[in-house]
Amino acid sequence: MTVLTGLDKPALPPVRPEVVSEVVAALSPRLRKRLDGAAEKLADRPVGRTGDDWTIEVDEDVLLVLHAPGGVVRSAADVRCGCLLAPACLHRAAAVTVAPLATGHAGAVGGEAGGQPGGESGGQPGGEAAGAPGAPGETDDDAAEPGSTAVPLTGAESGAAERLHTCASAVLAAGISGAGAVLQAELLRAAHQARLVGLHRPCAEAVGVVARLRAARSGEPDHRLTDLSDALRELLGLTSALCSAATPRSALGDLRGTARQAYREAGGLRLYGLFTEPVLTATHAGVLSWAVDATGRLSTVAEITPHADRSTAASGALAAANRPVRLGDAVLSHREFTRAGLSVQGATRSATGRLGAGAGVRAVRAGGAPWTAEPADRLWAEPVTRQVARALAWTDLPHDSRPAGGDLLFLEVTLRGAAAPSGDSAARYPHADCDGLPLVLRPAHDHPDLAYGANLALLADCPGLRLRVIGRLERAPRPQLRLLAVGADPGAPGATLTLAADRSGRVNLGLERLQRADLPSDLPSGPPSGPPSGPPSGPPSGPPSGPPSGPGSGPPWGPEAPFAVEAPVHLLTRRVEQAVTGGRRALALLAVGAGSAARDGHRLRAAGLATAALLLDALAGSAGDQQRDVFGRVLVDDHRAFTEAWLTASCYGEELATALCAAAWSPPDGR
């Protein structure tokens, strides 16, 4: 057995959520108080691996063993400690607290990749894995489609939803700083009970909350406060709906979710490759390939596997692009599939567009199609405003009902130079004109070992270049796109990419690097006046008078750019996120400090956001509205009023952000 320390030590195997809750529940109240400190100490101890056994040297005399057949710890008996207090010892509980959670999915491809404990992926398609290796390829007649049943909740389901809501409320009230291992284990226990009675969607959301909470507490680089806040809102929204008598019976199927995705017969499919994106999460890495069939529907095939070392995860994702597509007898890699096609017989496909790889599927390589020919060309024919509306509506669907590519935009753009976006002076992103709208093109993933950054830096120096692009909508008060792939636009006026014939007129920006030779030689030598590096200094002077007429023309990039003055939505959303960070008590202190909440409410009303001001007042009031005993000590409550106020404010902020994003993408001439 090799024992390693520091950066070279192997990562601990994932542990099933129910194992975590069972091991922590075995601790005495005295030991539970010491669990967080013990977990921090154990994280620094040497780790070794022999086969399916991971060992941790607690001290000279005590060895802790995690038995993980198949790479996952599946029962409490698989966590063994040599100390005298075992099995009810602190070491076992600390080990399952430090180890990552086994979510049962290949990783968020978004998301939602997808997430997700990390939620960070090659482009975050969102929600659940959009193509996990080992996913069932055959049709699953036993798995019901989401929303296909109107059976009322049973008593067991109602009780499980109530417990899950109570635990989630306790986590919210405690905040990141206070939601330690014990609270996390209680939430996982409630999630396991929910799964046992068939509430699969709330269970998955609860596990995602714990995974993101751990990432926040440990300071992992892929932690984003917004992701944790979104996950808590989703979980509390689900449990609130399940606990409410006003929820229509027809909605219960979607609220319950399904244990596994159902695959339906799709018959014969002729698939044309579109692009491939790298997928990178906290625990998984790989690629996701996208294809379009003759009807214009998008489908996905993935090659995603667990990784034990963050430092090599990006290289693992790049290597996955050269592995064969797991579909029938097809003999081509994911990178080749980008520019080729497949003829599939006996195909199966899930509601989210995942193609099954069952024994009855037959697939052979076929010719591809350029983006400028059918069926791909119709993706760019859809009006931009309709694409944006579809992408925004896609995020409101349950994860297992989101159609593949619902969040993708297919745009024709003309590059206009580069400038640092507001609040991000270290980065310079390409800016483009899209049907008269100034558009910021951002990388789909910020990992330095992926090719996104280098490619966008090259494109930023190419004003006047005409492109067809595929990207993921970034919900923001100004038009922004997370760029995934670019291609030549030979039918449009102006210069475009001059790619080699074997690249079929397209580039996967996360996997392949653009070269100077791929750019036309007649581009302007210098960029036009760049877009502003900060918000506009005043209200817009009006829409542009006409379409762009040259490489340096187009919508004005100065303070006169056609953007509305940004509403101060952050005054509400920052309080929502402060509650997630510091908990109920910290929010109460912040809200009353120097009249902060009253001042923010006045600014919101002055901006015409009276509802936001009312919600902010309610949130601040509920945070501080806690009963005390005769000694001034806060009495324990169920945090129901605070949770309801926070959830209402969070949902309002989401809807307002969506509305502002849709307005930002509206044509400047009002068409």
Task: Fill in the DSSP letter of residue 619.
Answer: H
> Percent helix, strand and coil across the chain, each rounded to 5?
35, 20, 45
283-308: per-residue pLDDT in tens?
A: 789 999 999 999 999 999 999 988 87
Structure tokens at 466: 């005409």
**pLDDT over 60 at 525, yes or no:** no
Task: Please write the tens of the pLDDT for every residue from 257-287.
Answer: 988 878 899 999 999 999 999 999 877 899 9
Q: Is residue 566 pLDDT above 80, yes or no? A: no
Looking at every residue in the chain, the average pLDDT score rounds to: 84
Q: Is 106:121 a contact under the CB 8 Å cutoff?
A: no
Q: Which tens digits make up the pLDDT trace of 446-470?
A: 999 999 999 999 999 999 999 999 9
Percent of the chain topping pLDDT 90:
64
Instruction: List all residues 6 or more positions away from 312 whose beta carbon is below 8 Å from its beta carbon.
Output: none
Dihedral, CA of residue 472, residue 475, residue 481 and residue 482, to nearest 10? -50
In the beta sheet, which residues pair with residue 384?
A: none
Whole-angstrom Cα distance, residue 597 to residue 611? Answer: 14
Residue 87: cis peptide before it, omega within 30 degrees of 0: yes
410/301 Cα distance (integer angstroms): 20
pLDDT category, 136, cuts 50, 70, 90? Answer: very low
Cα separation, 274 vs 541, in Å, equals 40
Among candidate residues 278, 272, 504, 502, the one with its CA nearest the CA of residue 365: 272
Q: Looking at the predicted structure, is the pLDDT value of residue 343 above 90?
A: yes
Give the model's pLDDT for residue 112: 34
Given a cut of 90, whether residue 389 has pLDDT beyond it is yes
Reported pTM: 0.84
Residue keyed to tokens 């014990």: 182
Convert the pLDDT of each residue in 430-449 to its tens digit.
Answer: 999 999 999 999 999 999 99
d(CA 19, CA 75): 6
Q: How many residues are listed for the chain in this entry?
A: 671
Check if the beta carbon of residue 385 is closer than 8 Å to that of residue 104. Answer: no
Q: How confident is the model at residue 424 (pLDDT cuts 50, 70, 90)?
A: low
Residues 181-207 have pLDDT tens digits of 999 999 999 999 999 999 999 999 999
Q: Where residue 635 falls among pLDDT bands split at 50, 70, 90?
A: confident
Q: What is the pLDDT of residue 355?
A: 95
d(CA 460, CA 432): 9
- In sequence order, what DSSP letters do the residues of 466-483 get, joined into one string? EEEEEEEEE-SSS-EEEE
The per-residue pLDDT for range 92-122, each reduced to its tens digit, is 999 999 999 987 543 333 333 333 333 333 3
3-state secondary structure string, 384-401? HHHHHHHHHHHCCCCHHH
Strand, helix or coil for residue 662: helix
Residue 455's pLDDT is what?
96
Reply yes or no on whether the pLDDT at 125 is more than 60: no
Amino acid at the residue 471 = G
Domain boundaries, the chain: 2-98, 155-256, 407-538+547-558, 570-664
More confidently predicted of 29 and 491: 29
Structure tokens at 93: 């509980």
